[in-house]
Structure formats: C-alpha cells, structure tokens
Chains A and B, each alone.
Chain A
Amino acid sequence: MTVPVVREATPERKAEIFGKVVADVRFQDYVHGCYECGICVAACPSARFYDFSPRKITQAVCREDLDLFWEHVNVDVWNCSQCFSCDRCPRGNSPGGLITIMREVAVTAGLRSAKEALEGGERVVYKIMSTGTQVSPDMLQPEAFPDWGPDVQDVSRNLDLWRRALPPETLHTTTTAWEIDDKTLVELYLIWHMTGVLDMIKAVDEGLHMILNDVMEELLEDHDIVVS
C-alpha cells in the first residue's frame, strides 16, 4: 500500500472538489455546523492511533477552509474507520458520513491520493463487483493473513472439504461466500452500469475497469441485456 500524500493544487481545483462534496445529496443530512466540542474525537478510534480528527474535518468543511479541506480529502479521510461512533455529535452531524462523501468524491475525481489509498484493495473491489459477495473462503490464504496465525493455513488446506461439511446448501462454495443465481448477478451488473460505478473504477484503476467490464459484458450478453 502506498501512503496517500497531499499534492499542490490550484485554488480552482480545490474549490471544484469542495463543490462536489457540498453538492452531494447527503451533505445537508450530515453537516449542520460544528460546536467544536470534540465529542466526536473522544469517541473516535482512529483519533487514538493517527494524527486524525473528525472535528477538524467537519470544521474545515463548515468554515470552507479550502486549504485544510484539501489536506483532509487527500490524506486524513483514508484513516477513518467508518465506525460512526462520531454520530453522537450533539449538533446532529455525521462526521463519518461526511468522510464517506469526501472519499467518494476523491475517487470519482480520480485524485492521485485516492489511487494510492486504494492500492492493495483491488482484489476486494473485483470480488464484490464481479461476484456479489465481498469476501470468499478462498481469500483465506496464509500469505494474505500472515498475522492471523497457523489456523489460516488449516482453513486454506482443507477449504473444499470443510465447505462441503457445512449443512446449509448455499454455503458449499469456495470462490463466493454463498451460491448466487446468475440472474441475481446480472441485476447487480446492471446496477453498477446504471449508477456510474464502473466509471468511478475507471477514474482510479483502468486495468481493473477493463477486467470488470469484460467479465460483466459476457454475462450480460448471455442474458441478452444491453447497457448503454
């Protein structure tokens, strides 16, 4: 993983990205001003381990401080745990929700910092978008989870056998978390196409976009679905 860094940008570019955050349909639900009380920081797990503050992020946005906003949207947002402990804000804000929007804007705009932040996670994005389940049993490999101890090796060695030993019929899979109908998958692909998510992927990872597009096109064609 590359650690995302702040790169200089023109005031116009910062204002453009800020404008996209404010224009998000959820922005008015998540940000109502800020008392600077710090309750969100006290509740925040990421604030304990990183130089990170949901208060600072919310404040920067409320004050329209574009330089500070630019730092946050490039670096800090990626340290958030998205736990929403900060939703206890007395002003009714959701700093975590604001961060979700800021991340999304960073991805859609193809910020270099977003590309860096997403490095290493391509496998998961591919899995969820192409199969409809985020993690699969065959992801449990010792090289991927060396810190989880030798049990991961046991699971990986016995994977097929142990999956066949599961009583629910839907769980005999190894490449997806459960068995999903093809028709369901076609509907999911339609959603990715119709909501512009594939375009978001293109903005941050062209290679991944190409692979996903190929996989999806094949199944959509098999079901005579045309997406424009």
Chain B
Amino acid sequence: MSSPDPNRGGPSAPSTLTAGTIPLEVVHARSFTRNPDLAPIEDIREEVLKLEAEGEWIVQRVPDDHTEVTTKYGRTKKIPNRHTWHHKSCGQCGHIPGYSTAIFWLNRELGTEYNDPRDQTSCTAWNYYASATSNAPAQAAVAMRNFAAAYETGFYPVIHCGTSYGHYKEVREELVRHPDLRAQVRDILARMNKPLVMPEEMIHYSEWIHVMRHEIRKRTVLDLSNITCVVHPACHYYKLVAEDAIYDQEIYGGQRTAIMSQLLETLGAKVADYSTWFDCCGFGFRHVLVQRDFTRSFATLRKIERMKEEANPDVTITHDTGCVTTLDKSQFAAKAHGRNVGIPVMSEAQFAALAMGAHPYRVCQLHWHSTDYRPLLEKMGIDWEKAWAEFESDLDRLRSGKTEFLTWDDANAK
C-alpha cells in the first residue's frame, strides 16, 4: 500500500494533506485486532442453520473447495473457489457488459466451472431503492426464487452486483427475524414448486476474485508497478449489513475493507489514498435516473476531483455496477465545465483480466466506457490501436453475416 506519490501532484507529507485525510501510515499504526466473541451483533448464519434444523428451509452449503477469509467482526467466512452460479447484474450486463464478461473470462481462465443462468431475474432492488414500488414480501420472494433456481442447478450462488448482495443480506435478516414473512414467501415459492433455500454464505463476486488473487497474480503478464490506482469500495458491499465484508489486518490496519486493495497490491500495482474514500459514489438509485444533477455533482466534486487532487491516479477501481457507471459517466459534463476530472473507471474484474492479458475490447469491452482509458492502457503496455483494429475486424465478420455472434474462442483469438 503506498501513500500518494509527491511526484504525481499528490501531497508529500501529512501536513499538506486535505483536512480530514488520515495518512495511511497512521491507519496502519492503529492496527485493529478483532475478537469474534466481542462482535456487537449475533452471527445471523447461526440462526440460518438453526432454522434449517427446525425444518424451516434448506441451507445450500458452500462447496468443499473453498477459501476462508476474515470479516468485519473477526468471524470466518467461506468463499467458494469453483462451481458457482452467477447472479448477474442488470446494470453491468446492460450498460457495461465488459464487467460481466470479465468475471466469466476470469472463471474460464482459472478453470473454475460456472453456470450463467437464464433462470435468473434481477434482484429488482435498484428500482426498489429508487421508487419504493415494491415491498418486503415481494423483495424476499424475488431473492428466494433466485436462490431456489441456483440450488436446483447444484451450483453455488455468487452475486455480481453490490446492491443485490447487500439487499439479499437485508432479506436474509428479515426472513430470519420474521416467521410470518418466511411463511408468506414459502407459500409463494410453493406455487412455483420451488423449495425455500437460503445459502450458507452470501458471496459477492469480488470476494471470489479476492481469494483467487494469487492465482491471478501467477497468470499476470503485465508489469503494473508504475500504475497508481485508487479504490472506491461500494456502500452496499460494506455498509449495508456490514458484518459480511472482508477485512484483513494487513490492509489499512484492518480498519477498512480489504476488498480490491489487497488484490491490486498482489498484482503489483500501487494503491493510493484519498480523503473521501468513505463517501458513496453519488448513484442515489432514483437520482441517477431522475435527479442526475445530484449524481454528477457528488461523483465529480466529492469523489473524482478529490482523487485527482490528492492521488492523481491512473485509474479508479471499484466493484459495483452503480459505482462504475456513476464515476465513469459523470465526468463528461464536469469536463465540459473545465473541472479537474479525467480518471478512467473500471471494475477490478476488468483490471485483473487486463493484467492477465485479456483483450481490452473483445473481453473487457472498454468501448462501452466513457472517460478516456487509452492513456491507462498505454501505460499498462497494451496497444489499444492494434486491439481496436482486431475488434473492428471481428465486427466486420458480424456485419458481413459470416458469423452471427462472437464466441469465447473469438475472445481469446491471437
């Protein structure tokens, strides 16, 4: 973990840091030891298992092939290494499809078998947090329908969207605490001949990438030592039902989630700090749809400009749908107003895939992103002009009707 580099326009010593910035050295020095016995809240997973023993539902177990990590209150969480069912994200698949494609590509390269289902709906939580045109039973039924669909395949659910992940944890709490709600949802699923199934652990895809980081490192073909990243951890990953997020003593002294930062360090990139790391991205759910002035202002004034002034990174790495969208797309209007913006934004899945030699267009689909990423690619040693020409020739094959769709073989073609 590195502090902002003075040669990159960032602050050189704590005395010059923007008010509110805690230098990383101080964060490290305050290293924080966790004792699960002193956790301020019950371990909901124990309640989940108790309810299974009482015949209330089935608990889908994490596959035997898994890795154990430490979470916020020092508890252990099992992350499946393979055999996963991918709960896709509508914002990723719809608007930044290189995000989902990169997750699948990593699974293929690492040889961890996965299932990309058609029997999956969105969690519907974006709409719910935007318009409130739903209710607790409906939201719980949507979640449990998807979990039942995963269970039927035998693959373990891994959730791509931070909001789906956070919301499903809310649903888990509600279902554990309220027997009437459980009964109502069980009846709804019975109408579909589906059992009530709760996964043993809620897993966000970035947790799988986190535990795969050494495997990814082994396959990394680029030197990232001159790349400075900043990290935006997603609110719905580590604030909404906070106890499941991954923390590590070695990263920020265990005081911030280790997700993404530990991967980037393992890949050999620099991770720089900035004062507003805790702030949300400004997505706002309803704001990004109907009040985007707020979204743009927050994303650029509180996040991108702060990152730029304090760390001047080559890239902003985040791990959620709304965060990538908001932080990337909001920069165009700010730039038009002469603001100090212009940091490419992508998910850690895309960044890790690039590090492993994935094609920037065939796999990472960077042409769907807005803020100029080409200087970053150049610095990473990727010839984007050649890559775009290759992708254009793929598109020509599609245009000519020689082929209807590109395939995974095309994605890795040399």
Contacts and interface: CB of A to CB of B under 8 A. Distances in A.
User: Which of B93, B128, B170, B242 has the most A CB atoms < 10 Å from its CB?
Assistant: B93
Given A81-B283, A84-B236, A171-B100, A195 B141 contact: yes
B288 to A, nearest CB: 9
Contacts of A118: 131, 133
A37 interface: no
Interface stretch (A10-18, A61-69, A149-157): A149-157
Contacts of A170: 88, 93, 116-118
B116 to A, nearest CB: 5
Contacts of A83: 235-236, 239, 280, 283-284
A134 B391 contact: no
Contacts of A24: 136
Interface residues of A, number: 85
Contacts of B220: none
B88 A197 contact: no
A84 B121 contact: no
B136 A171 contact: no
A94 to B, nearest CB: 9
B42 interface: no
B124 A155 contact: no
A32 interface: no
Interface string B57-91: 00000000000000000000000000000001111
B249 interface: no
A213 interface: no
Interface string A127-145: 0110011111101100001
Interface centre among A50, A88, A121, A128 (most CB of B within 10 A): A128
B178 interface: yes
Interface stretch (B265-273, B311-319, B401-409): B401-409
Interface residues on B, range: 35 or more
A195 B263 CA distance: 42
Nearest to A99: B132
B177 A171 contact: no
A29 B129 CA distance: 18
B114 to A, nearest CB: 11
B326 to A, nearest CB: 11
Interface string B280-315: 101111110111101011100010000000000000
Interface stretch (B10-18, B31-39, B204-212, B361-369): B361-369
A177 B145 contact: no
Contacts of B369: 151
Nearest to A146: B333
Contacts of B101: 166-168, 171
B124 A87 contact: no
A48 B298 contact: yes
Contact of B290 (A107, A120, A200): A120
Nearest to A192: B138
Query: Which among A118, A177, A192 has the greatest number of chain B C-beta atoms within 10 A?
Result: A177
12 contacts: A85-B279, A103-B132, A128-B122, A177-B93, A178-B120, A180-B118, A184-B118, A187-B145, A190-B192, A191-B141, A195-B188, A197-B133
Given A81-B284, A177-B122, 9 more contacts: A48-B298, A81-B280, A83-B284, A100-B128, A124-B289, A139-B95, A165-B394, A181-B118, A191-B142
Interface of A: 1, 24-26, 29, 43, 45-46, 48-50, 78, 81-85, 87-88, 97, 100, 103-104, 106-108, 114, 117-121, 124-125, 128-129, 132-137, 139-140, 145, 147-149, 151-152, 154-155, 161-172, 176-181, 183-185, 187-188, 190-192, 194-197, 200-201, 204
Shortest 7 CB-CB distances between A and B: which pairs?
Answer: A149-B332, A103-B132, A177-B94, A132-B121, A195-B138, A82-B129, A81-B284
